[in-house]
């Protein structure tokens, strides 16, 4: 009875170590993004790494540093200052256009835009939409000043 417990315990220990080990596939795509997966990808030259060989990273070794504010004006801020001083009507037109664009960008998620290189109409990605929202928000801040 004692020997059976020992054999059963050793067998359980041996098989449990296999359960924790896993094969991980890693590869870099055309955009330079590193991917990790437990399933081997199709038509990709992926390298194998084993989970028991991966060294855990240290936790808490990075302390965020407070960024110091840089007072350098952007190109848009410089041009906005000039336009606001010299041509009030143009500043007002830019303000109204930015407000309208911002309204459209925030209320619609599926938008199209014209490709500047080819002239084709293409769907706007979410990243492009968010960038356009940020740009128009900045234009509203710079050109819609109440004086």
Phi, psi of 146 (to 5 degrees): -90, 115
| Bridge partners, 93 (sequence order) | none
State the DSSP H helix or E strand holding residue 130, giving kind and residue range, or none if neither.
helix 126-143
- Cα 135–30–33 angle (5° rounding)? 65
Contact (CB, 8 A) for 139 and 76: yes
> What digits encode the pLDDT tens for the residues 83-120?
888 888 888 898 899 999 989 889 988 888 888 888 89
Within 10 angstroms of residue 10's Cβ, the number of other Cβ atoms is 10
> What digits encode the pLDDT tens for the residues 16-39?
555 566 788 888 888 888 888 888
Model confidence band, residue 146 (pLDDT cutoffs 50, 70, 90): low
**pTM given for the model:** 0.47
The per-residue pLDDT for 46 is: 87
Mean pLDDT of the chain: 80
The per-residue pLDDT for 61 is: 64
Min mean pLDDT across 51-55, 106-110, 125-129 is at 51-55
């Amino acid at each position: 009875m004692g020997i059976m417990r020992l054999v059963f315990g050793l067998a359980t220990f041996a098989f449990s170590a296999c359960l924790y080990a896993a094969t991980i596939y890693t590869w870099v795509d055309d955009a330079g993004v590193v991917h990790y997966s437990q399933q081997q990808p199709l038509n990709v030259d992926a390298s194998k790494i084993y989970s028991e060989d991966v060294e855990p990273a240290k936790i808490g070794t990075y302390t965020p540093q407070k960024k110091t504010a840089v007072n350098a004006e952007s190109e848009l801020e410089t041009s906005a200052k000039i336009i606001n001083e010299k041509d009030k009507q143009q500043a007002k037109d830019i303000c109204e256009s930015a407000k309208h664009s911002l309204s459209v960008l925030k209320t619609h998620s599926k938008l199209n835009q014209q490709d500047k290189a080819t002239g084709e109409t293409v769907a706007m990605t979410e990243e492009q939409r968010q960038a356009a929202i940020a740009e128009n928000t900045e234009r509203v801040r710079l050109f819609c000043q109440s004086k």
